[in-house]
């Protein structure tokens, strides 16, 4: 994919879609692409007062293998709509995952920063208005959140590389199990970011 321009959080970009007006186009046909990171899972579990395992049992969330790692994503129903879509509206809008907040933007990572790019023609809304990227993301403590995103990206990239070079299947399974338990299965305390970095340090 060719990226024409990268944006920082204070840059203006034409993404304002008038609160979507019930379109729900981006809540349909997403397959396993709405990936959940640990902060997404933390917010969902806290906001819904449920453990991660409950979200799996209720078929709101599913998991798939990506580069040797087991990662969660929002589950689509049989009609290809998001499991959290109700009457054409998002039932978890206030705690929606980062990828949902981001759309129709994408992320590009460097070693220590994240920048954003516009996914051309991804959103069918007409007459979009310009907004600051940071306002569009609607994310508290954006700098702290972006630092987390970079740390998570670098960690998963490193683990994928290590697993691809590893021929011991038992070791691979142990790493995947520990990864899943550390970052998704085990509940977080009130200070998510402190918990996350403590767990991250266990895996490097």
Nearest residue to 156 (alpha-carbon basis) of 80, 72, 86 = 72
- Over residues 102-127, the pLDDT tens digits come to 988 999 998 899 999 988 766 656 66
> What is the share, in percent, of the chain residues with pLDDT greater than 90?
61
Q: What is Dmax (Cα atoms) for the chain?
A: 54
Nearest residue to 13 (alpha-carbon basis) of 93, 96, 120 = 120
Spell out the domain ranges in the chain. Answer: 12-203
Would you state the pLDDT for residue 104?
87
Hey, which bits of 40-149 come out as E strands?
61-66, 69-74, 85-86, 89-90, 105-109, 114-118, 129-132
- Over residues 22-65, the pLDDT tens digits come to 667 677 788 888 999 999 999 999 999 999 999 999 999 999 99
In this structure, what token pair is assigned to residue 137?
Answer: 């993301």
* pTM of the full structure: 0.90
**Residue whose entry in the numeric block shows the structure tokens 């129903």:** 77
For 166-174, the CB contacts below 8 A with 24+ separation are 172/68
Instruction: Tell me the chain's radius of gyration from C-alpha atoms.
Output: 17
Please, are residues 119 and 106 in contact by the beta-carbon 8 Å criterion? yes
């Amino acid at each position: 994919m060719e990226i024409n321009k990268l944006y920082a959080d204070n840059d203006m970009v034409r993404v304002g879609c008038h609160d979507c007006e019930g379109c729900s186009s981006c809540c349909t046909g997403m397959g396993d692409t709405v990936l959940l990171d640990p902060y997404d899972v933390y917010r969902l579990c806290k906001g819904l007062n449920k453990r991660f395992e409950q979200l799996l049992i209720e078929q709101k969330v599913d998991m798939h293998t990506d580069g040797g790692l087991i990662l969660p994503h929002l589950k689509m129903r049989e009609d290809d709509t998001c499991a959290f879509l109700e009457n054409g509206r998002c039932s978890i809008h206030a705690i929606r995952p980062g990828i949902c907040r981001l759309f129709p933007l994408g992320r590009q990572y460097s070693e220590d920063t994240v920048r954003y790019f516009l996914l051309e023609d991804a959103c069918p809304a007409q007459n979009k208005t310009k907004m600051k990227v940071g306002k569009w993301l609607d994310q508290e403590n954006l700098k702290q959140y972006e630092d987390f995103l970079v740390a998570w990206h670098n960690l998963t990239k490193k683990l994928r590389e290590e697993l691809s070079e590893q021929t011991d299947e038992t070791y691979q399974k142990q790493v995947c199990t520990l990864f899943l338990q550390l970052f998704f299965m085990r509940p977080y305390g009130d200070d998510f970011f402190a918990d996350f970095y403590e767990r991250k340090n266990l895996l490097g």
